[in-house]
Amino acid sequence: MTQLVDTPIPSDPQTHPAFRGGPVAPSTSKLTPLDSTEIRLTQGYWRSWQQKNSDVVLAHCEAWMERIGWIGNFDRAASGDTGWEHSGIEFVDSEIYKLLEAMAWDLGHGENPDLQQRYDSLVDRVASAQEADGYLHTSFGRPGQPARYSNLEWGHELYCFGHLIQAAVARIRTAGSGRLVEVAIRLADHLYATFGPSGREAVCGHPEIEPALAELGRATGDARYLELAALFVERRGHGLLKPIEYGQEYFQDDQPVREAETLRGHAVRALYLASGALDVAVELGDEALAAAVERQWSHTVATRTYITGGMGSHHQDEAFGADFELPPDRAYSETCAGIGSNMLSWRLLLQHGDTKYADLLERTLLNNVMASPREDGRAFFYTNTLHQRVPGSVPDEGELNARALSSLRAPWFEVSCCPTNVARTLASVELYFATKTHDGLQLHQYGSYDIDTTLDSGTPVSFSVVSGYPAEGRIVVTSREQTTSEVTLTLRIPAWAGHADVTVGSNDPERVDGETVSVTRRFAPGDTVVLDLPMKARWVTPDPRIDAVRGTVAVERGPLVLCLEEQASERTVNDVRVDTSAPLVTTDTGAGVTLVTPAAPGTAGTAGTDGLGRAGWPYGEAPADEGRGASEGILRPYATWANEGPSTMRVWLPTA
């Protein structure tokens, strides 16, 4: 059992370990995460996206929420006026909080007076709406509004509070303190009084308060917040929420966390809850609860996850389907579910150190989460289909879009959880790349970044990592300092690669099979370790139990899932089949395949039939492969599709 000490926040962030850290800072873990002073992106794919986030995405989110009155809700709430109309659905406060979290991480990268001023101003407006007892929500509790906590099933009150607290934790971890931290602590104290051991036995319909309170407990050392997080985790699954049309499974109130075998119900809720449950388990030394979360992760990855890492195949309730129910054209794969999956994988990686967690994190980050933002950073996918059958329609860039109806990326949504979630992910993404131990440094994700840290043994290390990843497979790691003792540098060999060619200094390259490669030595300035990963495009076949894609193949190149996209209006991707006996050609950015286009089944030919049943009916005998034409198809990274206007697209290609 970990003893947390109830201490006030020290004033000097540099001397208090809790003041540094990434989004997750467990008090005990196999691997120790790095903070934003220890790892910095330098160039390449991730640096470019993080800069775009700082320059474009943050301002985009802020401008939209200003324009449509979501930020103004705080001003109106603070005014004390009555009868004003609340803008947006009841949980839009959370979008301002996720933006504040993103801004806090971004400010952790260095001085930015303009952003600092905008951040401070936004915090002041939020803080001004806090009530005397710490409660802070713009949709509840005032004259003319629903009473506080009167609709825990759908109100999202504690969900919003969770995101406020996460924003405050990001501030603590990058700057030490600030007005938002004080606001969050007053709010958390109100929650402890309201829902704590002597308070109301209830949970929120949308988890998020659980990981937030656990993290606030870690960041402040106040054990009450962890205690409340644990209460919320344990209360769920006992039917405290009123029945709804989707069933109690929707908000994981059907079964206690520690008894469930798999993630189920609403995907984002399930993933946030599992993250919070693991946080609680780690801090309390609750091995049974930790094992339950790991078990659910394993089952979900094996049976309920798309090739892109996306989770959730039901549009109606944004939920997981049954095992192997993964239709590509109905993939919901909400961007936020991908982010929730990464939250959980990262926590499991820190605890167990197994590369399988970093493998899924890489897959989900590059192929699900990064499919969301448009190349210019001003529009986003909410859902991430794997098969677009009809060319998407261009959304009105000036209007709010329905979340799942938009077939191209849209600037903003009526429920706009995904853009701000992408923003906070991009602002902190490097903090998921590497960890340290007593005398080792582990690189889990690749790109170009510098690490300057002191290992737990006291040995300072400085490494530069340079790579054209994810397009290129060479990763060059160079020591910039002499290490005063032996250090073990460990690099993940991705599961998709299976092996790597490793070159240490001027030695000959050596093939290494397995999950990692480690080099132990006293590193001198200029010492290099080079990892070469096989970037040849490869066929991927699905488990036959995934009925919706049986008889199809996908193509991956390096860490990227590829897709076939067709912009031309006279051609679509729906009729093609791929000839897997023809060469699969690796290109600079994707792959080339040979496609065959049989006569479309079920359409009337001159003889009345075209090989599949009678004309106008798509069922019957197997088609004859007559009259087909071969053509070359170029596959591109799935995450980049739909950047050039309306198109059709598919990941899974039927075989000829």
Q: Which residues bind Zn ion (CB under 5 A)?
A: 334, 336, 417-418
Q: Measured between alpha carbons, how far is 467 from 475 in angstroms, rounded to an integer?
A: 5
- Looking at the Cβ atoms of 255 and 335, the one nearer to Zn ion is 335
DSSP 248-314: GGGGT-SS-GGG-SS--SBHHHHHHHHHHHHHHHHHHT-HHHHHHHHHHHHHHHHHSB-TTS-B---
Sheet containing 434-436, strands listed edge to edge, beginning at the edge strand earlier in sequence: 32-33, 434-436, 440-443, 487-492, 516-521
Residue nearest to Zn ion (CB): 336
Q: How far is the CB of 265 from Zn ion (least distance, A)?
A: 16
Q: Which residue type does 330 have?
A: R
- Least distance to Zn ion, CB of residue 122, Å: 21
Q: Which is nearer to Zn ion, 225 or 382 (CB)?
A: 382
- Is the CB of 403 or the CB of 492 nearer to Zn ion? 403
Query: To the nearest whole angstrom, how small is the minimum distance from the Cβ of residue 419 to Zn ion?
Result: 8
Question: C-beta of 420: minimal distance to Zn ion in Å?
Answer: 9
Least distance to Zn ion from the beta carbon of 415, Å? 7
- The CB-of-60 to Zn ion minimum distance in angstroms stands at 16
Give the C-alpha separation, 384 to 371, whole Å. Answer: 7
Which distant-in-sequence residues (6+ apart) come within 8 Å of 215 by Cβ? 23, 24, 25, 165, 166, 169, 279
* Minimum CB distance to Zn ion smaller for 89 or for 291: 89
CA gap 78, 76 in Å, rounded: 5
Report the residue number, 206 or 387, with the smaller CB distance to Zn ion: 206
Shortest Å, Cβ 334 to Zn ion: 5
- Tell me whether residue 32 or residue 335 sits nearer to Zn ion (CB atom): 335
Report DSSP letters for 368-417, one per residue.
TGGGSB-TTSS-B-SS--SEE-SPPPPPPTTS-B-TTT-SS-BS-BSS-H
Burial of 146: CB neighbours in 10 Å, binned 0-12, 13-18, 19+ = middle
Question: What's the per-residue H, E or C state across 260-276?
Answer: CCCCCCEHHHHHHHHHH
Q: How many CA atoms lie within 13 A of 518 on its CB side?
A: 9
Cβ at position 418, least distance to Zn ion in Å: 4
| Minimum distance from residue 368 beta carbon to Zn ion (Å) | 12
Read off the DSSP letter of residue 193: H
Residue with tokens 């949504």: 413
DSSP 538-603: EEE---TT-GGGTTEEEEEETTEEEEEEE--TT--SSS-EE-TTSPPEE-SSSEEEEEEEPPPTTS
- 4/164 with CB nearer Zn ion: 164
Indicate the residue among 92 and 123 with the shorter CB distance to Zn ion.
Answer: 92
Closer by beta carbon to Zn ion, 423 or else 554: 423
Separation of first and last alpha carbons in the chain = 59
By beta-carbon proximity to Zn ion, the closer residue of 342 and 467 is 342
Distance (Å, whole) CA 35 – CA 433 = 11
Q: How far apart are CB 212 and Zn ion at their closest, in Å?
A: 17
Q: For residues 138 and 425, which CB has a smaller minimum distance to Zn ion in the complex?
A: 425
Q: What is the C-alpha separation between 385 and 364, in angstroms, rounded?
A: 14
- At its nearest, how many Å lie between Zn ion and the CB of residue 275? 15
Cα–Cα nearest to 440, from 538, 353, 505: 353
